[in-house]
Amino acid sequence: MTAEPGRPRSRTVLLAAPRSFCAGVERAIDAVERLLDAPGRSEPVYVRKQIVHNTHVVADLAGRGAVFVEELDAVPEGATVVFSAHGVSPEVRRQAAEQRLTVVDATCPLVTKVHSEARRFAARGDTIVLIGHAGHEEVEGTLGEAPRSTVLIETPEQAAELEVADDSRVSYLTQTTLALDETAEVVQALRTRFPLLQSPPGDDICYATTNRQLAVEAVAERSDLVLVVGSANSSNSVRMVEVVRRRGTPAHLIEDAGGIDPAWIEAADTIGLSAGASAPPALVGEVIEFLGRFGPLTVEEHITTVEDITFGPPAPVRDQS
């Protein structure tokens, strides 16, 4: 569509659904908020690492009094600390016990599931192949469950070259926030290399990651451009951009509306819009408002599935308002 001279160009925003917060993210943020809002609280609430990978969420909670630390060494003995949604290793739990910390474990239950699988596979003598990104907090936590039994890989090439003690006793796990298509390629390479490869009882890539990738892909098919709201260290947000680009549609990861380059918008009639599982829904509204400055805007929601999953709060905060 070309705008008539003197008339603003009309555009359509295709809003992918589901988008933004997932149940695990909501649970983790809620745990910190309950502690901050607890009647009579006078001591700081410490959070190890970012509670979820989003700078806006972290800044908001920090502004309300949460103290974010990289490691438990920065937490005073006997204080309250929240473990992030990404999970921690047993070594971190041991350190917390040594410091007599009150722990509120906000690990996503779906990450906890992967940890349980790692322990079970290791106990039966398997070599565990963990598919994931080196350095990611979730991966570090899972590796810590069975460090002597687990090897980390990221690519099909690494899978094809992998050597283990016993080819007949190999199982695999995955980080919960990976791209579906790329992970399938790695698993296929593992199956070719190890025909007796054992799978986890259910997919490790979580429902929220899967749903957001499928939703943004569906929107991309009808869009000239796709914007994904999320922080650069949010694995699931980065993967959403990658899956769109692999299908030939230009896509950009933006922290918020301020990350939009007007030049992207000028060339687009239809703009797909989504947000990673750790990005606040309000940021999507701000992006739509920003896009409206370029001319008349029609917003259409494209729903691929409806999520109804919820997770209860961690036990230590269930009775706190």
What pLDDT, on the 0 to 100 scale, is given for residue 5?
A: 45
Relative orientation angle of helices 23-37 and 109-123, to the nearest 10 degrees: 110
Write out pLDDT tens, residues 18-67. 999 999 999 999 999 999 999 999 999 999 999 999 999 999 999 999 99
pLDDT value at 3 more than 60: no
Tell me, what DSSP letter sits at residue 198?
A: B
pLDDT value at 1 more than 60: no
Contact 193, 159 (CB under 8 A): yes
Active site (annotated) includes residue 138: yes
Residue that is written with structure tokens 């589901």 in the block = 18
Catalytic residue, from 138, 140, 217, 255: name it.
138
Mean pLDDT of the chain: 96
pTM beyond 0.85: the answer is yes
d(CA 45, CA 152): 33
The CA dihedral of 267, 273, 277, 282, to the nearest 10 degrees, is: 110
Write out pLDDT tens, residues 112-121. 999 999 999 9
What pLDDT, on the 0 to 100 scale, is given for residue 309?
A: 95
What pLDDT, on the 0 to 100 scale, is given for residue 86?
A: 98
User: What percent of the chain stands above pLDDT 70?
Assistant: 98
User: Who contacts 105 (Cβ-Cβ below 8 Å, separation ≥6)?
Assistant: 82, 83, 314
d(CA 138, CA 131): 11
User: Closest Cα partner for 226 from 272, 174, 188, 294?
Assistant: 272
Q: How many CB atoms lie within 10 A of CB 32?
A: 26
Write out pLDDT tens, residues 247-299. 999 999 999 999 999 999 998 999 999 999 999 999 999 999 999 999 999 99
Q: What SS3 class is residue 10?
A: coil
Write out pLDDT tens, residues 199-258. 999 899 999 999 999 999 999 999 999 999 999 999 999 999 999 999 999 999 999 999
Q: What SS3 class is residue 77?
A: coil
